[in-house]
Amino acid sequence: MDSQRIEEAAKLATFGRRKVTPRVCVADSKQHIRAFLAEALEGLRFITCECGRANDLVAVLDNHLPDLVVLGMSAGGVAAGEMLKVLAAKAFSGKVLLLGPGGSPVVEALCKMGEELGVAMLPPLATPFRIGGLRASVAAFLGGRDTAEPAGRCDRRRACWPELWLNAHSPPA
């Protein structure tokens, strides 16, 4: 009974709030893959969070209320299948983007499993992929916003950061 009240409170807490920036959970067992995907999605102006196991996904769904779950397959189809079961059990109302080898029978089986469980599945994104492919896969969440960075902006910002940091913490001359 207490868990039902908690779920209702979470829904009430979000009722009437307008989400301006979409939220995404990057779920994969390998930390470096999660970090790469999170950085790419942040570049597309998503608010990101990460989880590495199906057990962690429960807390993420309760606390972060993602609109999208990007589900990697680095641990194989069994772990991805477990995460799909968690999403179905939590009645996840967002969408799932599955990343995996193009034309793989495992990817196809996981997409079918997600649909059978009632999880809204986006077309899978074949790995390896380019940022343009990722952008196209998540375009529905971007609401027509221009996600292109001005040319050189990232490189200039990263190049200037150490200089700005050093100047801010240097003793006066």
Distance (Å, whole) CA 101 – CA 125: 8
The per-residue pLDDT for 20 is 74
Query: Does residue 23 surpass a pLDDT of 60?
Result: yes
Q: What is the pTM of this model?
A: 0.71
Is CATH 1.20.1370.20 correct for 2-169? no
Per-residue pLDDT band at 141 (split at 50, 70, 90): confident
In the chain, the amino acid numbered 22 is P
Query: Is the pLDDT at 149 greater than 70, yes or no?
Result: no
At 113 the pLDDT is 94
Determine the pLDDT at residue 49: 93
H, E, C per residue of 144-158: CCCCCCCCCHHHHHH
Q: How confident is the model at residue 158 (pLDDT cuts 50, 70, 90)?
A: very low
Determine the distance from the C-alpha atom of residue 89 to the mean position of all C-alpha atoms in its chain, rounded to a whole number: 19
pLDDT tens string 30-55? 899 899 999 999 999 999 999 988 88
In the chain, domain spans: 2-169
| pLDDT of res. 19 | 55
**Smallest Cα–Cα separation from 98: which of 149, 152, 37?**
37
pLDDT at 129: 85
**Helix or strand or coil: residue 22?**
coil
Is a pLDDT exceeding 70 seen at residue 152? no
Answer yes or no: is pLDDT of 10 > 50.
no
pLDDT of residue 144: 58
Report whether pLDDT(101) > 70. Answer: yes
* pLDDT level of residue 121 (50, 70, 90 thresholds): very high
What are the φ and ψ backbone dihedral angles of 24, each rounded to 5 degrees?
-135, 140
Specify the residue for token string 């801010």: 168
User: Which stretch of 100-109, 138-147, 155-164 has the lowest confidence by average pLDDT?
Assistant: 155-164
Of 90, 83, 89, give the one whose Cα is nearest residue 69: 83
Rounded Cα distance between 159 and 115, Å, is 45
Distance CA 57, CA 31 (A): 14
Averaged confidence pLDDT in the chain: 77
Q: Beta strand 120-121 with 95-101: parallel, antiparallel or unpaired? A: parallel
Q: How far is CA 163 from CA 150, 151, 152, 154, 160, in A?
A: 21, 21, 17, 15, 5
97's enclosing H/E stretch is strand 95-101
